[in-house]
Structure formats: C-alpha cells, structure tokens
Amino acid sequence: MLLYGIKNNQQQIEEDIKTNLKENWKIDRISKVNLSILKLAIYEIKYTQVPFKVAINEAVELAKKYGDENSKTFVNGILASIVKE
C-alpha cells in the first residue's frame, strides 16, 4: 500500500523535495537511500494519519542506519522544512 501511494503521488512528493532543497542543490544529487527515505516520510506526513513527529523520527533513524554521517541532518532538515509549509 505504501509503495502504491508513493508511486501515485510521486510527482507531488518530488516537487516538495525540490522546493525545499537549498539553492545550489538538485534532486539528482541526493543519494538513492536518502531520496527513498524522504519519499516515504513525505508520503506518511501528507497522505496518511501518521503524526509528522513520528514520521520524521522514523526517517531520521533510517538515515542513521542506512545513510552516511550527514544523512540524518539532511533528512531532518528537508522534512522539517516541509512540515513548516
């Protein structure tokens, strides 16, 4: 179900990521792991009943486990920016 939801809303989810990147960043620069984590968390925040704090916490934990040393900060920053919108 999550995969279908992400796929069906992929264009909007990717647009949310693009609009919350810093000026000199492009979505192509984001690692596949971080991009997947962001897409999952954004879908949970915008399209499900999962509280945003829970979705962000889960995403940061995944970034710590599967990403590099900067992943948790990057993922947290993008998601926090999206929640503020």
| Residue 26 DSSP code | -
pLDDT (0 to 100) of residue 5: 93
Average pLDDT of the residues in 8-37:
94
Q: Angle at the Cα of 29 (from 24 to 34), degrees rounded to 5?
A: 120
pLDDT (0 to 100) of residue 1: 79
**Residue 28, token pair as written in the block:** 């192509």
**pLDDT band with cut points at 50, 70 and 90 for residue 22:** confident
Average pLDDT of the residues in 28-44:
96
Q: How many CB atoms within 10 Å of residue 41? A: 28
CATH architecture of the domain with range 2-84 = Orthogonal Bundle (1.10)
- pLDDT value at 52 more than 80: yes
Name the pTM for this structure.
0.93
- pLDDT value at 85 more than 90: no
Contacts (Cβ under 8 Å, ≥6 apart) of 33: 63, 66, 67, 71
